A = this chain, B = another copy of it.
């Protein structure tokens, strides 16, 4: 049985895009399974006293983040087009992703949402777009959107966000290993995978 790395992400998060587009390949090479865990950064930021993204609250940090994204996407060969507004409302996409987590098309849907949002600059609060992306990921778009609007799925997203905070997650992406090590940021993905490999072999 392969060890599992939990990939905590919010669809509104720019650096989660970078991880989403490479995590499954890197994990496959490392012999690790990825559990895609959507959650909402909003409540996490509110607990830190921030009512919006710190990249909007601190302009120098925001300017650097976008320039850093431009340079890093160029290095990775990834397209980058800023969605408007930033951050995007990721609530509906996160609920749909939870439906996909049960149904098995969660990772493919996750990559498709990030690619549409940050590669093409599209709005991810558009149910029609999300239905199309579910279908492309191998699911049933209308059915997934119906399920996403139900109480159990709404409650599951709230529970996931609470779980993230309990784990100590304060930003995205965050990678959590089976033995509870927390790695924050796309820059730590390789280190997190090495950690899982070492722990699994001891």
Contacts and interface: CB of A to CB of B under 8 A. Distances in A.
Interface in A166-193: 168-171, 181-185, 187-188, 191
Contacts of A169: 60
A48 B62 CA distance: 12
A182 B48 contact: no
Nearest to A64: B184
Report how many copies the assembly holds: 2
A168 B64 contact: yes
A192 B91 CA distance: 36
Nearest to A62: B170
Interface stretch (A16-24, A67-75, A115-123): A67-75
Contacts of A60: 48, 168-170
Contacts of A71: 181, 191, 195
A103 B152 CA distance: 68
A51 interface: no
A75 B191 contact: yes
Nearest to A50: B58
Interface string A52-85: 0000001011011001100110010000000000
A118 to B, nearest CB: 19
B191 A64 contact: no
Interface in A102-128: none
Given A64-B184, A68-B184, A182-B64, A170 B75 contact: no
A159 B103 CA distance: 59
Contacts of A183: 68
A163 to B, nearest CB: 14
13 contacts: A48-B58, A48-B60, A60-B168, A60-B170, A63-B168, A64-B182, A67-B181, A68-B183, A68-B188, A71-B181, A71-B195, A75-B191, A185-B187
